[in-house]
Structure 1
Amino acid sequence: MTINTAGNECPRCGQATVSIREAVPWCAACEWNLDTFDRAGRTPEFGWAWIDRGTYRLAARLTRQQYAALVDRPLESSGLGLAGVVTAVASILLTVGVAALAATGVWLLFAFAFPNIAVVAGVAMIGLAVALRPRFGRLAPDVDVLSREQAPGLHALVDEVAAAVGAPLPHVVAVDDSFNAYTTSVGLRRRRVLVLGLPLWGALDGQARVALLGHELGHFVNGDVRRLLVTQPALTMLGNAADLFRPGHASAGGGIIEMIGDALGRMLSWTMSRLLFGAHLLLVVTALRDSQRAEYLADEMAARAAGTDGATRMLDTLLHGDAVLQVVRQSCRDGAGPATWRAGVGRSLTAAADRLPLLRQLSIRERTSLFASHPPQGLRHRMLTTRVRQDPRARLTETRAEQIDAELARHYEQVGRQLAWAGD
C-alpha cells in the first residue's frame, strides 16, 4: 500500500495533503477534507448518489458529535440512552399491537355463529400475528460449543477477564470459522453466548486476546440496545412484516380483470412493504446510535482488562483485517498453526506501522454510516489513547496461549482446511 502526497497544501494548516488506496486526499495534521464523501471508496447504501451523500453527511456529523460528547466523560454504563429508550418504547408498542391483533382474531373466531366470513378474517389475523411475533434468537447452528471439560484453559481465561471487567459469565462459550467474535443473548431467558472466530482468535497475541474477551464480555454490562430483551421487537418485527408483504412473482395467464387485480394487489403489497421497511430502517438507525455508544464502552472494558496497549493492538489487527486474514490463510496453506499465524501477523503489523495512523484516519471516512453498528476504528483507537492509560488486570502469557490453542487443536485443523482452500 503506497502513501501518496497529493501535491497540494492544506488550506487550513498548510501541511501537505495525503492519500492512500486512491482515496480523496485529506490533511493528516488537521484532518481537513477527511469527512468528504468519497463515492468511489464506499459501498452504495441506497444506490442514488445524492441520497448516499446526504446520509453520509448526516452520519459523519452524528458520529463526530457522539465522539465529542464521550471523549471527556467517564466511559461507564448509565443504562439506556435516549435512542435506547425510543427503541424500547417502540418495541412495547409493537408487541402490544401484535398481541391485540391476535386477540382480535381469536374474538372473531367465536363472536359469530359458524360459518361466518368473520372466521376467515380471524384466522388471517391470528396467522399474521404469529408471523409477526417477536423473535428472541437462537444459537447459530454452525458454532462448536466448548464445555469446561473440553477447554478448561479458555474457560479459566474467560472467568478471569469477566471478573476484571465486572461482567457476568456467558452460559455458552463457542467457536466458529469467522474472522470475528461476538456475544449475544438468545431465547426468552436471554442465555448469554460468547463466540470466538478462530481465524481472529488465533491471529491475536496474548493481550490482544484478553482485550477481545474484555470487549465482548463488556457487552453484557454496557447496556447495548441490540442485546436487550425489551428492544428486540423493534429490531425485528417491522423487518419481518416488510418481508411478509413483499409481492411475489406476477401470476401468468388470466383475463384482463385478473391482470388488473393482480397489478393492484402487487402495488398495494409493494407500498406496504416499503412503508414497513422504511419504519424498520428508522428504528434500526435510531438503535445503532446507542449501539455505537455501547461499543466505546466495550472498548474501555477491553482496555481495563488487557491494558490500553492490548486494546489498541486488537483494534489495529481488526483495522488491518484483510492483510491479517491473508497471512492466516497462507499459513494454513503451509500447514502451520496459530503460533505461526501470530508471528506472521506481528510482522505484518510492524511493517505497516507507518501506514496505520493514516489507515485509522481513513477509516473515519470509510466506516462512517447511519447503518454502522460500530464507530470507525480510528475514533475507537483515538478514544482509548486520549484517555488515561490503563495497565492490564489480566495477562495471557505465550505459554498459556499455547495451552489454550492445544485445547482447540481439532477446531483449528478444521478451520485451517477451510481457509487453505478458500478463495483470495
Structure 2
Amino acid sequence: MIITTAGTGACPECGTPTVSIREAMPWCARCEWNLDGYDRAHQTPEFGWSWVDRRTHRLATRLTRQQYAALVGRPLESAGLGLAGTVTVVVSLLLLVGVLALAVLGAWLVFAYPFPNLAIVFGLALIGLAVALRPRFGRIDPDLEVLSREDAPELHALVEEVATAIGAPVPHVIGVDSRINAYATAVGLRRRRVLCLGLPLWGALDGQERVALLGHELGHFVNGDIRRLLVTDPALTMLGNAADLFRPMRGTQGSGLLELIGEWLGRILSWLVSRLLFLGHLVLVCTALRDSQRAEYLADELSARVAGTTGATRLLDVLLSHESVALVVRQGALGGQGPAGWRAGLRRSLAGTAERQPLVRQLSIREEASLFATHPPAGLRHRMLGARPWQDPGLVLGEARAERIDAELARHYDQAARMVSWSA
C-alpha cells in the first residue's frame, strides 16, 4: 500500500511542504528538490561502499536528467551510431582481433616446434584462453515457450500489424514465459529476432496497453539500440567474461611455505587482472547504456504512434505497478480467474492509487537512476510522452480480438498463473 505523508517540513527552494511515499526520503513534488538524493535505506547498493554508491547515483541522476533535457525538445529518431556506439564498435573489433591473435599465436606455438616441446604447452594454453574469451552471441532462452503461427494465428497477425505500423521487421520467433516482463532481442550469429511476452503482464493489460507493449518491444528492432547489434556484442560481454575467468579461486590447504607464498602472489596478480578487466567492462557498459536509454525513449515514441499516447502512458503506469500485477495474478490464480479477472483486478488497483500515481512516477526518477540501468526512469519516460505532440491510436485492439488471442494462450496462462502463485 502506498501512503503519502508530509515530509520533514517545507522545501528550502520553493517553500512547498515536502512529501514522501513508501517511507522514502522526502522531496518536493513541485520543484523536485531532494529527488536526486541517494536514499540508502531504499536503494539497492551497486558497489557495496555507501560513499561510492552515493556518488555514482548522483552522477547517474545528472546524466539521466541531462539526456532527458537534450531529447525532450527535438524529434526522436534513430540517428545511427553516435559517439557511444562508435566507441563500442571500435572496442569490439579490437577485442575480436586480440582473441584471434591469441588463437593464431597458440596454433603457431603448437606446430612450429617438434614434439615434445614446452612451447606446445604454452600454445595450447593460449588456444584455450582464446576459446574461453570468444564472444557469445546469445541463444533462445530455454524457458521460452515458442508459439508457431499454427499455435497462435491471431497473436502472430497482431504482431505483424504492429510491426508494419511502426516500420519494424517481424520477429523470427514469438514466445511466452511466466515472468512479469516482456523483451525483444536478437540472438546468434544470424541475429534471429526474438519476441517474448510474459503472460502475467500480457494477460493483465487491456487492448491498447497490449498494442503499446508490442510497439515498444518491436521498436527495439529499429531504434538503433547498440545492445542488439552483432558488432557491439563483444565489447559488452568479453571483458566481463575475462574478469570472471581471472577471478582468484579458493586456495589449497596444507601446502608448504613456498607453495603458500606462490599461491598468495598468484592470487594477488589474478585479483588485479580481474579487477582491471572488470573496470574496463564497467566503463564500456556504462558508455553503451547511455545510448541504450536514448533508444528506449524512441521505442516509447513508436509505442505511442501505434497505440496512442494514452495507451503508451497507461502501460508505463502498469510497469510501475509490478507488485500490483503480481498480486492480482496470484489472487486470480487462487480464485480460478483467468486474464479477464487479472485485468479487472489491476484496473481496480490502479484506480485506487490514481491520485498518488504522479508521486510514484516522481519517485521512480530517484529509485531507477543508475549507471547500469538499461532504461530511463519510468517517470521520465512518462513525462517525455506527455511533452510530445498527442497521438491517437494507429491500431485498435478490440475486446473480441483480445479474447480470441487469450483463447489461443489459455493453456500457457494456466501454467503462468501457477508459477506466479508458487513464487509467493
Deviations 1:205-263 (A, max 9, x none): 10000000000000000011110000000111011111111111111112111111111
CA contact (8 A) 2:8 2:26 kept: no
Other-structure match for 2:173: 172
Q: What's the counterpart of residue 266 of structure 1?
A: 267
Q: How many angstroms apart in 2 are the aligned matches of 1:373 and 1:401?
A: 30
Matches of 1:209 and 1:301, distance apart in 2: 13
How many angstroms apart in 2 are the aligned matches of 1:193 and 1:31? Answer: 39
2:230 is equivalent to residue 244 of structure 1: no
> Structure 1, residues 2-57: CA drift from partner, whole Å, max 9, x if none?
11112522222222111111111111111111111111120111111110011011
Q: Percent identity?
A: 70
Q: Which moved more, 1:12-21 or 1:145-154?
A: 12-21
TM-score by length of 2: 0.98
CA displacement at 1:84 relative to structure 2: 1.3
| Alignment correspondent of 1:191 | 192
Distance 1:218 1:389 in 2: 19
AA at the equivalent of 1:357: P
1:90 equivalenced with 2:94 (yes/no): no
Report what 1:119 is aligned to.
120
Matches within 5 A, 1:131-150: 131-150=132-151
Q: Which residue of 2 aligns with 1:16?
A: 17
**Residue of structure 1 in register with 2:413 after alignment:** 412
Q: Secondary structure at the match of 1:304?
A: helix
- Note the C-alpha offset of 1:123: 0.5
In structure 2, the partner of 1:353 is 354
The range that moved more, 248-257 or 365-374, is 248-257
The one-letter amino acid of 1:256's match is L
Which residue identity is paired with 1:364?
I
Q: AA paired with 2:320? A: L
Q: Distance in 2 between matches of 1:352 and 1:14?
A: 26
The residue correspondences of 1:293-312 to structure 2 (distance < 5 A) are 293-312=294-313
AA aligned to 1:182 is Y
Find the aligned partners of 2:413 and 2:79 in 1 and give their Cα distance. 39
Q: How does 1:274-353 map to 2 (within 5 A)?
A: 274-353=275-354
Question: CA–CA distance in 2 between the matches of 1:156 and 1:226?
Answer: 27
SS at match of 2:261: helix
Asked if 1:100 corresponds to 2:95, the answer is: no
Aligned match of 1:74:
75
Could you tell me whether the CA contact under 8 Å between 2:326 and 2:420 is conserved in 1?
A: no
Letter in 2 for 1:264: L
Once residues 118 and 7 of structure 1 are traced to their aligned partners in structure 2, the CA distance between those partners, rounded to angstroms, is 70
Shift of 1:113: 2.2
AA aligned to 1:114 is F
- Separation in structure 2 between the aligned mates of residue 105 and residue 421 of structure 1, nearest angstrom: 51
In the alignment, is residue 220 of structure 1 matched against residue 186 of structure 2? no
Decide which moves more: 34-43 or 359-368. 34-43
Return the offset for 1:418: 1.7
**AA at the equivalent of 2:134:** R
- What residue identity is the alignment partner of 1:263? W
Question: What's the CA shift string for 1:123-159, capped at 9, x where partnerless?
Answer: 0001100110011000000110000111000001001
Show the counterpart of 1:51: 52
The separation in 2 between residues aligned to 1:177 and 1:333, in whole angstroms, is 16
- How far residue 309 of structure 1 moved from its aligned partner, in angstroms, is 0.3
User: Could you tell me how far apart the structure 2 residues matched to 1:92 and 1:420 are?
Assistant: 46
Report the more deviating stretch, 147-156 or 27-36: 27-36
**Cross-structure match for 2:234:** 233
Cα distance in 2, alignment partners of residues 43 and 326 from structure 1: 23
- How many angstroms apart in 1 are the aligned matches of 2:44 and 2:255? 42
Secondary structure of residue in 2 paired with 1:301: helix
Q: Distance in 2 between matches of 1:421 and 1:136?
A: 33
Q: Which residue of 2 aligns with 1:400?
A: 401
| In 1: Cα distance, 2:115 partner to 2:97 partner | 28
Q: Structure 2: how far apart are the matches of 1:5 and 1:254?
A: 63
Matches within 5 A, 1:350-389: 350-389=351-390
CA distance in 1, matches of 2:23, 2:326: 22
In structure 2, list runs of 5 or more residues that go unmatched: none
Measured in 2, the distance between the counterparts of 1:52 and 1:246 equals 23
In the alignment, the residues of structure 2 paired with residue 247 and residue 345 of structure 1 have an alpha-carbon distance, to the nearest angstrom, of 48
- Residues 49-97 of structure 1 deviation map (CA, whole Å, 9 limit, x = unaligned): 1100110111011000000010011111111221111111110110011
**Shift of the alpha carbon at 1:346?**
0.7
- The aligned amino acid for 2:126 is M
Q: Distance in 2 between matches of 1:47 and 1:186?
A: 33
Q: Deviations over 1:356-396 (max 9, x none)?
A: 00000000001000010100000000000011011111111
Unaligned runs of at least 5 residues, structure 1 = none
- Distance across 1 between alignment mates of 2:376 and 2:314: 17
